Chain A
């Protein structure tokens, strides 16, 4: 049988001290996963619904923690009491259980409204699966919205910057037309050609030599009001993306 498995490329053999030793090129978990995948694809037609229906209908399920196969590489389901209709209440244990039970709590702990959601999950430990799934998808949707919003925001900021640069060019032309214009480092002409002063939207204030009129409360530094608004915008977007990334990492961990 081992030679048959080797012909099926499920086993390999190496000669060690004159004796053939057989090895599996894949780990035990990968073997089982491959078998389950083949079963689901060829026997169940790619749908796990019959399998889940079998589990929910089956009464031969062990209690939580009693199953010796309840480990990380062999996710299984156990019963926790009975439902209203008399059928056993199914809960995942092992790898799937840890993932399913821990992920929503960790997922909801990543966002700005984490307090409310953590409180919701803590106050309702037996929260129905569909509610947990809804929370899960909300976090995923938030992540996607955060990404899309950031991309759209970047485009909006880029267009605003372009408009602002056009405005700066107009201001530079006005500076050029101002009478008594010099060619010094802080002069309007130097600023018009981008020499000596700071380029960009803050060029007029920087080139004029006067301190920026606005103090950024987050950085404590003086800047233009536009720069402070832009910083605030990116801080908010970064909060969205970071919490969404943490949530997705928790989901797929």
Chain B
């Protein structure tokens, strides 16, 4: 079964996780999301 295609942000995130060798959601949010300006919706309320 072929794998689904990836979007730009999905590809960037997947590359980051593959480069880290594994990451939790918190680590991804801190090291990957914050530098790109991603904010948690719960914090923005």
Query: Which A residues contact B (CB, under 8 angstroms)?
Result: 1-2, 4-5, 8-11, 19-24, 26-28, 31-32, 34-35, 38, 42
Contact = CB atoms under 8 A, between A and B. Distances in A.
Main SS at interface, chain B: helix
Interface residues of B, number: 19
Contacts, number: 59
A10 B24 contact: no
Given A21-B23, A21-B24, A11 B11 contact: no
Given A9-B3, A38-B5, A24 B24 contact: no
A11 to B, nearest CB: 6
A20 B10 CA distance: 19
A2 B13 contact: yes
Interface of B: 3-6, 9-11, 13-15, 17-19, 21-25, 28
Given A10-B14, A31-B14, A35-B11, A22 B6 contact: no
B19 A28 contact: yes
A22 B3 contact: no
B8 to A, nearest CB: 10
Given A2-B25, A10-B14, A22-B25, 10 more contacts: A5-B10, A5-B13, A8-B6, A9-B4, A10-B4, A19-B24, A22-B22, A24-B22, A35-B11, A38-B5
